[in-house]
Amino acid sequence: MLSFIARRTLLAIPVLFGIMVVVFLLLRAIPGDPCTAMLGERATEAACDRFNAANGLDESVFVQLVIYIKNVLTFNLGESIRFSRPVTQLLIERLPLTTELALSALMIAVGGGVPLGILAARRHNTIVDTGTMAFANIGVSMPVFWLGLMLAYFFAVVLKGTPFALPPGGRLSAGVFPVPYYEVWGWNLTKGSFWARSNEYISNHYIFNTFITAQWSIFGDAVRHMILPAVALATIPLAIIARITRSSLLEAMSKDYIRTARAKGAKESRVVTRHALRNSLLSVVTIIGLQLGLLLGGAVLTETVFRLAGVGTALFDAITGRDYPVVQGFTVVIAAGYVVVNLFVDLSYGYLDPRIRQK
Amino acid sequence: MSKKKTIEILEASAREATLLTESPISQWALTLKRFRGRRSGMIGLGIVMFLVLTAIFAPLISPYPPNEVLIGKEDVSPREKPCVHVLGCDAENPQHILGTDANVRDEFSRIVFGSRVSLTLGFFTVTIALLTGSFLGAVAGYIGGWLDNIIMRIMDVVLGFPSLLLAIAIVSVLGPGLRNALIAIAIVAIPSYARIMRAQVLSIKETDYVAASIALGATPRQILLRRVVPNALTPLVVLATLGVATAILEAAGLSFLGLGAQPPLAEWGSMLANERNNVFTSPHLVFFPGLAIMITVLGFNLMGDGLRDALDPSLNK
């Protein structure tokens, strides 16, 4: 198993490298330059020259690429042209929100989708099956921003004054500030050091931070703010996961080994969980991995609806404003996340299906 | 074998042959029959037909022109709640069954006309993506070699990005607007068609009837157009139907972000986006356009699923 993990991890490196190069080249292949985007259409040539020199855009594309790759490898993602701040700082502030949002959504999608799929398959061709699949079909057809707005309306306006009311936007209520765990525990961190910034990054996961430091009221506030965006973002993946779980479980249940298991007198619950489900999980896990791209696209819309300052909205602003360093930095980090998730998917294949480990 | 026996056998096979020709059932008729047996597919078809009819007869169905501002013409205010006379709304008030929008236009008329925008958009994006994608896939699969490698690696790169983010990037280069959003969504969709077409071409290329055509002196173009493409159509038709659903959803997303349809065009996504800050006071202006998007997408999704089941008999258990 260990050599399997090592092999898979090494394979991810050229993929990451390729993505870095492609993002870099794509951004430069498209027309429109950051100078006019930042200084306006009527920027003079001299102003543009100064701007390009200040941002290293006057070098040849190849030199820019080499500098860029060197910088990425040393965790230096450049400075945002728009905000004049390091891209890493923007990431420290914005990535944790999107990570928490995506993870919460994924948890809801898996936690809801897999049981629903099992239920539909176990009650194949009954009203439960039809109902579940109708729900799944409607789920994949809903625009995520519409669902988000409707949820916000329902939980913030219709249910206002009831215990079920939920905030329609933002990350925390006004005036609420979580204390980072390193301050709670009295750690002495040198400001600006790599260690301090890593801790700042980790503590910006508000739900996690308030949980480990037992700031319960703030924890509750953060969770309550997360519910609606996460549910909105989770709906489409949930529906897809439910459909895949159902069809692959149905397929597995028709196999000979299920008949064998039943014939030897295994309990039906054991037949389903140990024999059928485990064999159908492979395709379910694949689909879960593939949902990440969907979650990221959806995050742009969800964060816009719920006014959250996450990676999605940042990337949207950076793309439309041609903030090259931000687009590059964020895309590389997202791509890295994508690769890591798929690595986990691959590794779970090895866990679920021992035959794959041998190859 | 006696002569009599031989004649008997010949007669029997002749009878069988006539039996077969008497009720010929083509592949398409079989598909249609199977499609009819799928309830969800038929529901999808029903929804799509309903939408197409709505789009065609939009001027007859809608009580007002979609962009007519009713200030001074009627006693209504902006963002008026729905008023249906049959449901107890005061008969003195003008009837607006889905209310009015911020510019005092009849919301129902705009939603009816919006079906034209969404269907046209879905149709054109899928047509562009289908033609470009299957052309690239066919060339890659048929010619192979380095050309295949280059085309498919580019397709892999496009597929590697979250599709909405890539569409945002393309629109931000081309400039916002419905036409550019359409192009962006089409580009993002090309790789799926290219991949399927390539896979089909690769398998069909090896069949005996293609070998026979080559032996008869057919040119590569003839083989591609007459032999390969017709046989590769099945999965492409399914993908195209489902693609309309995706395209409409993505276009609505782009419009929601302000990159797609621009005012005053009655497009569901932008109608919804314009009113999103008023969702707490006038939820109907967000609810109905979104519902229209959902029903449309649902229709194409159901129809696509039904078609896939009908066209692929191996799925019928």
CB-based burial of residue A344 (10 Å sphere; 0-12 exposed, 13-18 middle, 19+ buried)? middle
**Mean pLDDT over residues B288-316, rounded?**
85
Residue B17 banded pLDDT, cuts 50, 70, 90: low
Separation of alpha carbons B234 and B307, rounded Å: 9
As a residue count, chain B comes to 317
Neighbours of B132 (CB within 10 A): 16
Separation of alpha carbons A226 and A104, rounded Å: 8
- Say yes or no to pLDDT of B28 above 50: yes
Is A338 inside any structural domain?
A: no
- Say yes or no to pLDDT of B261 above 80: yes
Which comes out higher in pLDDT, residue B267 or A27? B267
Instruction: Return the CA Rg of chain A.
Output: 24
Is A36 inside any structural domain?
A: no
Is A265 inside any structural domain?
A: yes
Is A270 inside any structural domain?
A: yes
Q: With beta carbons less than 8 A apart as the criterion, state whether B264 and B67 touch.
A: yes
pTM: 0.84
Q: What is the DSSP letter of B79?
A: T
Residues 6+ apart with CB under 8 A from B108: B62, B63, B96, B97, B98
Task: Output phi, psi for B71, to 5 deg.
Answer: -60, 130
Q: With beta carbons less than 8 A apart as the criterion, state whether B198 and B154 touch.
A: no
Q: Which residue of B has its CA nearest to A160?
A: B280
First to last CA, chain A: 11
Min CA distance, A191 vs chain B (Å)?
35
Q: What is the total count of domains within chain A?
A: 1
Side chain identity at residue B291, one-letter code: L
pLDDT (0 to 100) of residue B316: 45
Domain holding A254, by residue range, is 87-178+215-308
Q: With beta carbons less than 8 A apart as the criterion, state whether A74 and A67 touch.
A: no
What sign has the CA pseudo-torsion A251, B234, B248, A303? positive
**Which of B251, B310, B42, B308 has the alpha carbon at shortest distance from B128?**
B251
Separation of alpha carbons B155 and A131, rounded Å: 37
pLDDT (0 to 100) of residue A317: 85
Q: Is the ipTM beyond the 0.90 threshold?
A: no
- Say yes or no to pLDDT of B5 above 80: no
- Say yes or no to pLDDT of B22 above 60: no
- Which chain B residues touch A150 with a CB distance below 8 Å? 279, 283, 286-287, 290
Is A78 inside any structural domain?
A: no
**Mean pLDDT score of chain B, rounded to an integer?**
86
Q: Between the ranges A350-354, B25-29, B38-42, B282-286, where is the mean pLDDT highest?
A: B282-286
Among A30, A141, A315, A338, most B C-beta atoms within 10 A, so best to mutate, is A141
Closest by Cβ to B165, choosing from A150, A156, A300: A300
pLDDT (0 to 100) of residue A31: 61
> Encoding tokens for residue A189?
């961190």
* pLDDT, one tens digit for every residue, chain A (359 residues): 778 778 777 877 777 777 778 777 767 766 666 777 666 667 777 877 887 777 677 777 788 888 878 888 887 887 887 888 888 899 999 999 998 999 999 999 999 999 999 999 988 889 999 999 999 999 999 999 999 999 999 999 899 888 888 988 888 888 888 999 998 998 888 887 888 988 999 999 999 999 999 999 999 999 999 999 999 999 989 999 999 999 889 888 888 888 998 899 888 888 888 888 888 888 888 788 777 767 877 888 899 899 899 988 888 888 777 787 888 788 778 777 777 777 787 788 778 777 777 65
Given CATH 1.10.3720.10, say whether it is the number of domain B3-315.
yes
Determine whether the interchain pair A150/B290 forms a contact, defined as Cβ–Cβ distance below 8 Å. yes
**Mean pLDDT over residues B33-58, rounded?**
90
Predicted confidence (pLDDT) per residue in A183-195, tens digit: 899 888 888 788 8
Determine whether the interchain pair A30/B276 forms a contact, defined as Cβ–Cβ distance below 8 Å. no
Separation of alpha carbons B152 and B132, rounded Å: 13
Q: With beta carbons less than 8 A apart as the criterion, state whether A170 and A308 touch.
A: yes
Q: Domain with A152 in it: what CATH number?
A: 1.10.3720.10
Is A46 inside any structural domain?
A: no
Residues 6+ apart with CB under 8 A from A218: A172, A176, A178, A206, A210
pLDDT (0 to 100) of residue A79: 81
Residue indicated by tokens 């996690």: A208
Determine whether the interchain pair A152/B269 forms a contact, defined as Cβ–Cβ distance below 8 Å. no
Determine whether the interchain pair B298/A296 forms a contact, defined as Cβ–Cβ distance below 8 Å. no
pLDDT (0 to 100) of residue A238: 93
pLDDT (0 to 100) of residue B313: 59
Ranges of each domain in chain B: 3-315
Is A118 inside any structural domain?
A: yes
Which comes out higher in pLDDT, residue A251 or B131? B131
For B35, the 3-state DSSP assignment is: helix
- Which chain B residues touch A255 with a CB distance below 8 Å? none
- Which chain A residues touch B279 with a CB distance below 8 Å? 149-150, 152-153
Min CA distance, A184 vs chain B (Å)?
38
Is A145 inside any structural domain?
A: yes
Separation of alpha carbons B74 and B77, rounded Å: 9
Residue B317 banded pLDDT, cuts 50, 70, 90: very low
> Encoding tokens for residue B152?
């498919």
Determine whether the interchain pair B164/A319 forms a contact, defined as Cβ–Cβ distance below 8 Å. no
Q: Between the ranges A5-9, B14-18, B212-216, where is the mean pLDDT highest?
A: B212-216
**Mean pLDDT over residues B157-171, rounded?**
78
Q: With beta carbons less than 8 A apart as the criterion, state whether B247 and B122 touch.
A: yes
